[in-house]
């Protein structure tokens, strides 16, 4: 028999280190899943690709997403752990700093050279070693015993990032989260594209639209959703079977201002509802909400680290 649990989403190198299960909520989440299954989606306008200066979203992995145009998200990086390959995404917010999810890194492992950042990727297996940077410090207030808040981390690199047409910064959010309710945003990553219990990471970067919602009945998992600091999103009606999954953690949730031709980092991929099999394998449930830490709510903390360390 399978059950539903809440998981955070690094690509697995070991369950003990990177898959966080919230104890005591199996029944509650199962009940939520039943509720969600019978609530019809409200009619809503389609997410319009013309709102974004990016590729055409006409196809229907992320799960059920679409391959991104190469280097259309030049701030997106791959986080690697020793020789395990890709575990999480992250965003370049400064020439020496990456913003990612707190659960993606263990601060005590940073000094051992455990983590590397690769910039300028489209195919996660094809890169130049000049685009590889070592993480030398990590700052985070994330607590693995309370995964529903403060799930961000700032990673300092061993040298300045070299910027070019495929490697660039993204601006931090300048808008309060309430301005995005009902709006479509974009997320991207190299997370699992499998609908089964066997994890399968794509080689090419995937992207999808999601819509920000403010629905307590759909978003509250055991009353743990903190709407002040976490976005709750659902798949867009244009692609209703697409959501983040294992390996997408730490990646960006972004908006685009067409008037100023500017991208903004609004959220950091945090956790999803997943089904857990009898042998403890997980499968992301793409019809359930996804959750992203709000950048604007953490802006003071982020800027304090950037300015003082």
What is the rounded distance in angstroms from the CA atom of residue 22 to the CA atom of residue 30? Answer: 13
Q: What are phi and psi of 302, to 5 degrees?
A: -60, -50
Cβ(69)–Cβ(206) below 8 Å: no
Q: Which of 154, 178, 170, 116 is nearest to 303 (CA)?
A: 154
Q: Of the residues 173, 236, 242, 249, which is catalytic?
A: 249
Locate 157 and state its tokens: 């690199």
93 sits in which H/E element? strand 86-94
Check if 151 is active-site: yes
What does the buried/exposed string (b/e) look like for 208-227 if buried means 16 or more CB atoms within 10 Å of the residue's CB? bbbbbbeeeebbbbbebbbb
Q: Of the residues 91, 122, 149, 151, which is catalytic?
A: 151
Cα–Cα–Cα angle for 27, 37, 8, rounded to 5 degrees: 55
Q: Of the residues 78, 86, 103, 173, which is catalytic?
A: 103
What is the rounded distance in angstroms from the CA atom of residue 186 to the CA atom of residue 129? Answer: 29
35 sits in which H/E element? helix 26-38
What is the rounded distance in angstroms from the CA atom of residue 14 to the CA atom of residue 70? Answer: 30
Check if 123 is active-site: no
Q: How far is CA 241 from CA 16, 55, 234, in A?
A: 29, 19, 9
What does the buried/exposed string (b/e) look like for 168-178 if buried means 16 or more CB atoms within 10 Å of the residue's CB? bbbebbeeebe
Give me the residues paired with residue 100 across strands: 153
Check if 103 is active-site: yes
CA atoms in the 13 A half-sphere facing the CB of 67: 10
Q: Among all residues, which ones are annotated catalytic?
A: 103, 151, 249
């Amino acid at each position: 028999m399978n059950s539903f649990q809440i998981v955070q989403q690094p690509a697995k190198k070991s369950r003990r280190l990177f898959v966080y299960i919230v104890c005591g909520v199996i029944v509650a989440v199962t009940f939520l899943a039943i509720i969600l299954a019978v609530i019809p989606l409200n009619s809503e306008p389609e997410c319009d690709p013309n709102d974004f200066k990016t590729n055409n979203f006409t196809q229907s992995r992320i799960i059920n997403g679409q391959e991104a145009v190469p280097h259309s998200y030049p701030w997106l990086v791959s986080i690697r752990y020793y020789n395990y390959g890709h575990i999480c995404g992250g965003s370049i917010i400064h020439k020496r700093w990456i913003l990612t999810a707190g659960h993606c890194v263990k601060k005590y492992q940073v000094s051992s050279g455990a983590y590397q950042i690769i910039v300028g990727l489209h195919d996660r297996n094809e890169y130049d070693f000049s685009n590889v940077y070592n993480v030398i410090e990590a700052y985070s207030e994330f607590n693995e015993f309370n995964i529903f808040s403060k799930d961000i981390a700032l990673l300092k690199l061993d040298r300045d990032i070299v910027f070019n047409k495929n490697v660039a910064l993204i601006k931090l959010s300048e808008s309060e989260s309430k301005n995005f309710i009902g709006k479509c945003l974009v997320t991207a990553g190299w997370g699992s594209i499998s609908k089964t219990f066997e994890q399968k990471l794509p080689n090419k970067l995937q992207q999808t639209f999601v819509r920000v919602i403010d629905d307590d009945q759909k978003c509250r998992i055991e009353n743990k959703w903190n709407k002040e600091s976490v976005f709750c999103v659902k798949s867009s009606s244009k692609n209703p079977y697409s959501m983040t999954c294992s390996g997408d953690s730490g990646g960006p949730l972004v908006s685009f201002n067409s008037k100023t031709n500017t991208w903004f980092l609004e959220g950091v991929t945090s956790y999803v509802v997943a089904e857990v099999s009898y042998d403890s394998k997980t499968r992301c449930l793409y019809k359930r909400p996804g959750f992203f830490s709000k950048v604007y709510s953490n802006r003071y903390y982020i800027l304090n680290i950037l300015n003082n360390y």
